[in-house]
A and B are shown apart, each in its own frame.
Chain A
Amino acid sequence: MSETLEHIASAARTDAPPAILLDKVNKWFGALHVLRDVSLSVAVGERLVVCGPSGSGKSTMIRCINRLETHQEGRIVVDGIELTDDVRALDAIRREVGMVFQSFNLFPHLTVLENCTLAPIWVRRMPKAEAESLAMHYLERVKIPEQAKKYPGQLSGGQQQRVAIARALCMKPKIMLFDEPTSALDPEMIKEVLDTMVGLAEDGMTMICVTHEMGFARTVADRVVFMDRGEIVEMGTPVQVFENPQTDRLRLFLSQILRGH
């Protein structure tokens, strides 16, 4: 099994060093083994979709990539920097990796514009005017420049998630992580967020996206990873994974997903 995985991983793209490399990563929450020997290599510019039943460890895995969670065994290398307890390495990685959360996590006491400019000004040391024009650029990109002066609480869920995407983009990250970005949204708002993400993917951003949106996975993903009980069970192109599942676990999962739709 693992040989095939490595084969696919290495065959995925070019010979350039991977943007993200996970090597036999293990993690426990207390006695609960939530990540089991997870190995994964993501090339620069690659779009990866991670799916799997709830509790399968997919969120935990991407949260390990910017160290919101710490792994206990194995290696994680992001943009050539290995994740350790070294604070400087952590700062460097967090500057390069943007994250979008299921629950948006916008800062409610700051305006949309301030949400977007805070990190560029204080982490990137960008002059305020430059940070604001950058923020407006990305707010236009996610199609809500007119909301810049409002507070997050005045926006709809879909608008808030688009602000969250713009906020992450303002740090000009090399890699974007999406943790179930549409799961907290009403159905009519899912499309506006997915459209924004498709646009981003077309620009060649390296993305890892945890989602159950199969349509998005089919149109955008270079590869789909299926996780269950902390393991990567199958990995391949969307067609391989969705049309030709190799394991019972994936077949069961796909049947449940399809029934839900």
Chain B
Amino acid sequence: MSDLTLTTAAATSPEAAPRTPPASQIGLRGWLRANLFSSWINTAVTLVLAYLIIRWTIGFIEWGVINAIWSVPENQTQACRDLRGVGACWAVITEKHRFILFGTYPYEEHWRPALVCLLFVGLYVVSAMRRFWRWELALVWVATLAVIGVLMWGGVLGLSYVPQERWGGLPITLILATFGLAFAFPLAILVALGRRSKLPAIKALCVLYVELIRGVPLISLLFMASVMFPLFLPEGMNIDKLLRAQIAIILFAGAYLAEVVRGGLQALPKGQYEAADALGLGYWQKTGFIILPQALRLVIPPLVNTFIGFFKDTSLVLIIGIFDLLTAGKTAIIEPAWQGFGIEVYLTVGAIYFVFCFAMSKYSQDLEAELNRHRRR
């Protein structure tokens, strides 16, 4: 085969330089031709969509930038009302951004939740870098979370005490999501392993857990945590409402993540288990060194899918009266002067959610490529 090509090539021109493909096939022109203008119907669709996209973009820029009002004097929103539908009233964000971000946390202490948010972001960034993936990272987590607790509650080191009922906004969302996923993920791994266990009792327990939790909506779990659970506690004993919601979220996310992890476990060929057994590795050695590293790599996309879903699902705590980012945004526009400016507030809150979710998504793509390098030849 290769001999044949060699001889024909040699016959035509012995030292022919490699030719580039025709200009119409490569570069921007080739791409446009292949993807946008390959037939009259494609050309028509391209033109119609291009028109709509340009119209919409111009409209959005006019509304959001050119005609927008950025600030108004002391709750005087009449100027904004006059421009309804023509220009955005970003004054609502200028005025209310601290409430949206930090809820009812005492105004003069806002630097504390702000620092907490920065600490969370820093923690994510450090944890995302593979060169910090050592056991010391666990210490960093414990230390950071302790600092975050001190900052939020206060009551020590000269910080004034702030009861949990007054926390709100972005820190609540980050606390619920971070603790939720940090505890739900290990739980999920154990449950997924348990579901494949040879011990019938463990297996039954894990199946029961997954099916029970998955069978009810998160909202009903949150209600149970907030309304029913305290009824079963002895008199005088009280568990923090945020903690109860947190546990409900951990249990719920754990069940979903467990099924994702189990999918990865099942995708591994039986030979991997057998080879580990034949080498004399014990169960936890086999699981830790051979099975989980491969299974988790396989399920990075659905895993991150679930992570992102739960990051946003933390907003459901609004139904039990916890002030997360979305609820704070909603509450910010209850005041009569600012009623009717929901679009601006929701766009802003949505943008904050998007930044976190998109970062997760982007990071997972890089991680996937990095960790699956061994599959490339």
* Interface residues in chain A, defined as those with a beta carbon under 8 Å from any beta carbon in chain B: 66, 68, 91, 94-95, 97-99, 101, 103, 105-109, 118-119, 122-123, 151-154, 167-168, 171
Residues of A within 8 A of B280 (CB): 91, 94-95, 119, 123, 171
Task: Output the least CB separation between A95 and chain B (Å).
Answer: 5
What residues of chain B lie closer than 8 Å to A107, measured between beta carbons?
272, 275-276, 289-290, 294
Cα A107 to Cα B279 in complex, Å, equals 12
In the A-B complex, the 10 residue pairs with the smallest Cβ-Cβ separation, listed nearest first, are A105-B275, A94-B280, A105-B271, A119-B279, A151-B374, A99-B278, A123-B280, A95-B280, A122-B285, A109-B293
Residue with the highest number of chain A CB atoms closer than 10 Å, among B280, B281, B282? B280
Contact in complex: B294, A108 (CB < 8 Å): yes
Which residue of chain A is the closest to B285 with respect to CB atoms? A122
Chain A residue numbers with a CB within 8 Å of B279 are 94, 118-119, 123, 167-168, 171
B274 near A109 with CB under 8 A, answer: no
Q: Are B377 and A154 interface neighbours, CB within 8 A?
A: yes
Q: Is the CB of B294 within 8 A of A153?
A: no
B residues less than 8 Å from A91 (CB atoms):
280, 282
Distance in angstroms between the alpha carbons of A83 and B27 in the assembled complex: 67
Q: Is the CB of A98 within 8 A of B289?
A: no
Verify A108–B375 contact, CB threshold 8 A.
yes
Min distance, Cβ B257 to any Cβ of chain A, angstroms? 21
Is B297 located at the chain interface by the 8 A CB criterion?
Answer: yes
Give bound CA distance, A123 to B280, whole Å.
Answer: 7
A-B CB contacts (within 8 Å), total count:
68
Are B374 and A68 touching (Cβ within 8 A)?
no
- How close is B27's CB to chain A, nearest CB, in angstroms? 33
Q: Which residues of A contact B376 (CB under 8 A)?
A: 153
How far does the Cβ of B275 sit from chain A's closest Cβ, in whole Å?
4
Chain B residues whose CB sits within 8 angstroms of the CB of A68 once the complex forms: 274, 277-278
Taking the closest CB of chain B, its distance from the CB of A50, in whole angstroms, is 17
Interface CB pairs A-B, < 8 A, 19: A94-B277, A94-B278, A94-B279, A97-B278, A98-B278, A103-B269, A103-B271, A105-B269, A106-B275, A107-B289, A108-B294, A108-B374, A109-B293, A118-B281, A123-B279, A123-B280, A151-B373, A154-B377, A171-B280
Which residue of A98, A101, A109 contacts B374 across the interface (Cβ within 8 Å)? A109
Q: In the bound complex, what is the Cα–Cα distance between A154 and B376 (angstroms)?
A: 8
In chain B between 250 and 289, which residues have their CB closer than 8 angstroms to a CB of chain A? 269, 271-272, 274-282, 285, 289
Instruction: Find A101's partner among B275, B281, B375 (CB 8 Å cutoff).
Output: B275
Query: What's the tally of chain B residues with a CB closer than 8 Å to chain A?
Result: 23
- Binary interface encoding of chain B residues 317-331 relative to chain A, with 1 for a CB under 8 A from any of its CBs, else 0: 000000000000000
A107→B273 CA distance, assembly (Å): 10
Nearest B residue to A100 via CB reads B278
CA of A192 to CA of B279 in the docked complex: distance in angstroms?
23
Least Cβ–Cβ distance between A163 and chain B, in angstroms: 12
Chain A residues with Cβ under 8 A from B276's Cβ?
107
Q: Determine the chain B residues whose CB is within 8 A of the CB of A167 once the complex forms.
A: 279
Residues of B contacting A105 with CB < 8 Å? 269, 271-272, 274-275
Q: Which residue of A lies closest to B375 (CB)?
A: A153
Provide the bound-state CA to CA distance between A101 and B297, in Å.
Answer: 24
A122-B274 contact, Cβ under 8 Å, with A153-B377, A154-B377: no
List of B residues within 8 angstroms of A151 by Cβ: 373-374
Q: How far is the CA of A171 from the CA of B376 in the complex (A)?
A: 29
From residue A207, how far is it (CB to closest CB) to chain B in Å?
Answer: 15
- B294: contacting residue among A99, A109, A152, CB under 8 A: A109
A212 to B103 Cα, complex, angstroms: 75
Please state if A122 and B289 are interface contacts (CB–CB under 8 Å).
yes
Contacts of B274 in A (CB 8 A): 68, 101, 105
By a CB distance below 8 angstroms, the chain B residues around A103 are: 269, 271
Give the distance in Å from the alpha carbon of A214 to the alpha carbon of B282 in the complex: 37
- On chain A, the residues within 8 Å of B282 by CB distance are 91, 123
Rounded to whole Å, the gap between the CB of B294 and the closest CB of chain A is 5
Complex Cα distance A107/B285, Å? 13
- Which A residues are CB-close (under 8 A) to B374? 108-109, 151-153
**Most central of B274, B281, B375 by chain A CB within 10 Å:** B274
- Known: A108-B375, A152-B374; 5 extra A-B contacts, CB below 8 A, are A105-B271, A106-B275, A107-B294, A108-B294, A109-B297
In chain B, what residue has the closest Cβ to A152? B374
- Quick one: closest A residue to B282, CB to CB? A91
Which residue, of B269, B285, B293, B374, has the highest number of chain A Cβ atoms within 10 A? B374
Q: Collect the chain A residues with CB atoms within 8 Å of residue B294's CB.
A: 107-109
Distance of A171 Cα from B277 Cα, bound (Å): 13
| Bound Cα distance A19, B162 (Å) | 73
A154–B297 Cα gap in the complex (Å)? Answer: 19
B281's partner among A66, A119, A168 (CB-CB below 8 A) is A119
Contacts of A168 in B (CB 8 A): 278-279
Instruction: Give Cα A118–Cα B377 distance, bound, in whole angstroms.
Output: 23
In contact, B275 and A122 (Cβ under 8 angstroms): no
Residues of B within 8 Å of A123, CB to CB, are: 279-282, 285
Q: Is the pair A101, B271 in contact by a Cβ cutoff of 8 Å?
A: yes
Interface residue from A66, A118, A152 paired with B278 (Cβ < 8 Å): A66
Bound Cα distance from A105 to B290, whole angstroms? 11
List of B residues within 8 angstroms of A94 by Cβ: 277-280
Among B272, B276, B278, B376, max chain A CB count under 10 A is at: B278
A109: which B residues are within 8 A, CB to CB?
A: 293-294, 297, 374
CB of B100, distance to nearest CB on chain A (Å): 44
User: In the complex, which of the residues B275, B279, B294, B376 has the most CB atoms of chain A within 10 Å of its own CB atom?
Assistant: B279
Inter-chain contacts of A154 with B (CB < 8 A): 377
CA distance A167 to B289 in the complex (A): 15
Q: Considering the complex, give the chain B residue whose CB is closest to the CB of A155.
A: B377
Docked pose: A108 CA to B274 CA in angstroms: 14
In the complex, A101 Cα to B279 Cα: how many Å?
12
Kindly state the separation between the CA atoms of A122 and B280 in the bound complex, as whole angstroms: 9
